[in-house]
A and B are shown apart, each in its own frame.
Chain A
Amino acid sequence: MHRIPRRIDSSLIVAALLIAAVVTGAVSILRLDTTGRSGSGLSEEFAYNLQKLAAVDPDLILYAESGLRVSTGFRQSRAIALDSSGRMYVAGDRAIGVFGAAGNPEKLVELSGEPRSLTVSDDGKIYVGVGDHVEVLSAEGQQVASWNPLGDEAVLTSIAKHKDDVFVADAGHRIVLHYDAAGTLVGHIGAKNPDKNVPGFVIPSPHFDLAVSRDGLLRVVNPGRNRIETYTRDGDLEFAWGERSVDIKGFCGCCNPVSLAIGPDGGFVTAEKGLDRVKVYNSDGGFVGVVAGPAQLGKEGQLKVCNTPEECQGGGLDVAVGMDGRVYVLDVTDNVIRVFAKKEAGR
């Protein structure tokens, strides 16, 4: 047997190497992450992930969203209030939008400035915090009174009326102002006073809500302490409730809850930002259940947790409760009102 030596053409080797180099280069270029979307490459230790904390036990969710969703039409919605007939009043941009109980737009009341808070009294008058002062409007939207300005640092984040008392939360001065119905300043509530065991309000951000319960006691959120404090109309601190915790029963973060409303049964509905949650507590402050968690408040199955600076600083949610117990959630980022009703037993 004579074996013929096999010779490899050098040009073939060069061609193969060239092809391999071109293919390798092309793959490298195609796999190059020029947008950064495939991640930073940092370990989990460097990630801030709220998704893990956003899970809510489905058994704790006692409410379901009704079909009613109302677009406010504002670029920046700020606050919601209801009147006794179920009309929705939304403060936003430089106006108040009035919507019927079915969500139909009824009226747009133009204002002189940007409103941050409002309430509607039993006689239909609208009390609205505009810039550094309170304006009172008739049920038809005509200005009835404009109270004295409170200075450049005033940020009027909440108003509540009970009988002849009007309480205004001023986040800028970290104080509650007590007025009579005519707009005369009666006193200040909540200033730090160790002698009266009043710790003072801690307001890291412009979220400072209050409400008056049927017993006439003033309920004020102290967001920096993650609790709700109860004051008499004379400013005496009676008691407080609220637990600082990321657990569903508590309030997490530095400035929660951001919103508070009182239901017809005397219970409380709270809204939180960051980890968006709307929850129900009984009149003693005991946890009852969840109206909606991040999964229910998000869009298209997405969890509602802030991802962009705009979302994070948008301020989250404001809540109101109707006479029928339905919970109205104003999403100030998406400018929409969502209505939640208690689930029927067995569902």
Chain B
Amino acid sequence: MANDKENLTRRKFLREGLWGACLAGTGTAAGLSIARNNRDNTVWQIDPYKCIACGNCATFCVLENSAVKCVQAYAICGYCDLCTGYLVPEPKALDTGAENELCPTGAIKRTYVEDPYYEYTIDESLCNGCGKCVNGCAAFGNGSLFLQVRHDRCKNCNECAIAAACPSQAFKRVPADQPYLLKKVDAKE
């Protein structure tokens, strides 16, 4: 031991330290590069089975009009006359009157199909991703309305502000070639 300490000169310490630092730097750079490449192949998305439609998507997104929008799973929708995603809980009438609409921005369109069925579609230019309709649909209906990050708008930020603020950890990164997490019929059966 005593010989080793004597042999460890300042020059040797600096030389070996420099080598170590170079190796660590190379490793870190390689790791960051791999992580960056992996991240480039993924995008942010909302798991609809974890989302509680808290409203944060409407306000935490860095975009002025959130990239999160309500989407409709038509295979799950009941096409209800009394759609609780479209109508307030106590509607005066089952029609398109503004006083009966649940959506504060009027982003849901109701179209007559046949008695007593109606189709509901989302106007994404009006939707702010607040999730009010999602809660209404889930509470009484089938939960066919749910929130998704729309990738024609999303900036795919490295640190998504909504993901950080999501209280149910519903935000996750998904492969860019499969960017949506859609609800399926009987998925939770």
Contacts and interface: CB of A to CB of B under 8 A. Distances in A.
Interface residues of A, number: 41
Given A42-B55, A254-B140, A309-B51, A204 B79 contact: yes
Contact of A253 (B54, B102, B140, B188): B140
Given A36-B60, A310-B188, A205 B51 contact: no
A34 interface: yes
A225 interface: yes
A33 interface: yes
Interface string B42-82: 00000011111111111110000000000000000011111
B89 A53 contact: yes
B132 A48 contact: yes
B165 interface: yes
Contacts of B54: 36, 39-40
B167 interface: yes
Given A35-B167, A202-B116, A42 B130 contact: yes
Contacts of A309: 48-52, 138, 143, 188
Contacts, number: 121
Nearest to B55: A40
- SS class of chain B's interface: helix, strand, loop or mixed? loop
A42 B139 CA distance: 20
A47 B104 CA distance: 10
Contacts of A310: 49, 188
Contacts of B138: 306, 309, 312-313
Interface residues of B, number: 42
Contacts of A50: 89, 139
Contacts of A275: 139-140
Nearest to B83: A254
Contacts of B78: 203-205, 224, 254-255
A252 B84 CA distance: 9
A307 B52 contact: yes
A324 B50 CA distance: 42
B104 A46 contact: yes
Contacts of A244: 82
Interface of A: 33-37, 39-42, 45-48, 50, 53, 202-205, 224-226, 244-246, 252-256, 273-275, 305-310, 312-313
